[in-house]
Amino acid sequence: MTAAALTAFLRTEAQRLGFDRCHVAPAGPAPHGAFFVDWLAQGRAGQMNYLHTLVERRIDPSRLDRRLKVRSVVVLGINYHRFDLPPHLRDDPSRGVIAAYAWGDDYHEAIRPLLYRLDAYVRGQTGRRLFARCLVDTGPVLERDWAQAAGAGFTGKNCCTIVPGAGSWLLLATLLLPEELAYDAPLAAERATCGRCTRCLTACPTAAFVGPYDLDPQRCISYWTIEVQESIPRALRPRFGNRIFGCDICQEVCPWNKRLPERTPLITALAAQQARLAPPLLEGFAAETPYWRRDDAFADRFVRSPLLRAGRSGMLRNVCVALGNWGDPAALPALALALADDSPLARGHAAWAVGEVLRKTGLPPARTLLVSAATSERHLAVREEIALALEMGETTAP
């Protein structure tokens, strides 16, 4: 079978399985591998230690599997834009906004079996016995670099892969094959550009972009709300607003993402679930729905959801930050529960949130909560959070 014929069969099967895009490039050194190595050297990966593993293979997939002898990188994309989050949900500070990719089930688990099936199809055409490498965002490969090299889209100033006409709401996966294929060319320069636009850079509330195409994750809302189980820097917390898992701001303001049609994903597991769009922040503290308070309730509420990655204590930390930014006295009963949580991480951020309610309202019950917590708290970092919250609460809103 010729390379062109095999590529055509591959694209047809990929589309049948539910992929919106299928592009191929010859394996070799990634075009921006040197940039990635320098990015790591600057410490930009933060706590994402997995990015420091297999660096040489990560920047050159042809070296990833010596037995397989990878010759082709197949870049597969799924458009996950369903609809824009209605303003009455997005802008309501009593609700927690979740990044759009997490409105459905975990895309890693939804896409991985499709890659296995696609590889099985190719093996059926070629007689190959070795399995291909099937990677969904978590494997050692620079997906966005290969997406650009294969013509699937281009890398925008916000570091997202942008598809002209379809925007940047794209989930990427890669299939590393030993077969030679008919390769795609990158998009023409006049189509692959952000032009003079810098909306994503200026809209970022935490100033996470060092410059165009250069993101510092350690200032990114997605990094802090998903990737790490540590205390969120105090200076950044007020800038998170009500975003409790990930952030889409740099995509929401992108002109390439304007006026996109609503659509239903071809893969049903990725369909948006209404309860995951922007859940009420206080709902998870109720006796009948204690998913911010109990591990089992959290696991049940978000079964198969990407939110499980952050864990209950990490999500409670994020929710406490959102409650503090809301600053409404209605949050005090929930925050009282969070102040008594088993997790010091959650208790510390609950103290900060109560301090924000105190600072914004001056209400005595907020101060009473903090003083009471201070008498029983034994964890040093939490005690420091309580002390700072009381100190900041001395400056109250008029």
Whether the pLDDT of residue 235 is over 70: the answer is: yes
pTM assigned to the model: 0.94
Structure confidence by residue, pLDDT tens digits, 139-166: 899 999 999 999 999 999 999 999 999 9
- The Cα–Cα gap between 7 and 72 comes to 11
Which SS3 state, helix, strand or coil, does residue 24 take?
A: strand
Which SS3 state, helix, strand or coil, does residue 393 take?
A: coil
Let me know if 204 is exposed, middle or buried by CB neighbors in 10 A (0-12, 13-18, 19+): buried
Structure tokens at 338: 């969070």
Structure confidence by residue, pLDDT tens digits, 1-25: 899 999 999 999 999 999 999 999 9
Whether the pLDDT of residue 282 is over 90: the answer is: yes
Averaged pLDDT score across all residues of the chain: 95
Whether the pLDDT of residue 366 is over 60: the answer is: yes
Mean pLDDT score, 81-100: 94
Mean pLDDT score, 331-340: 98
Structure confidence by residue, pLDDT tens digits, 65-75: 889 999 999 99
Mean pLDDT score, 174-182: 97
The residues spanned by each domain of the chain are 3-83+104-177, 281-398
pLDDT level of residue 270 (50, 70, 90 thresholds): very high
Mean pLDDT score, 109-130: 96
Return the active site residues: 137
- The Cα–Cα gap between 264 and 260 comes to 13
- Contact present, 94 and 327 (Cβ < 8 Å): no
- Contact present, 74 and 179 (Cβ < 8 Å): no
**Identity (one letter) of the amino acid at 346?**
A
pLDDT of residue 265: 79
pLDDT of residue 396: 62
Structure tokens at 334: 């929930």
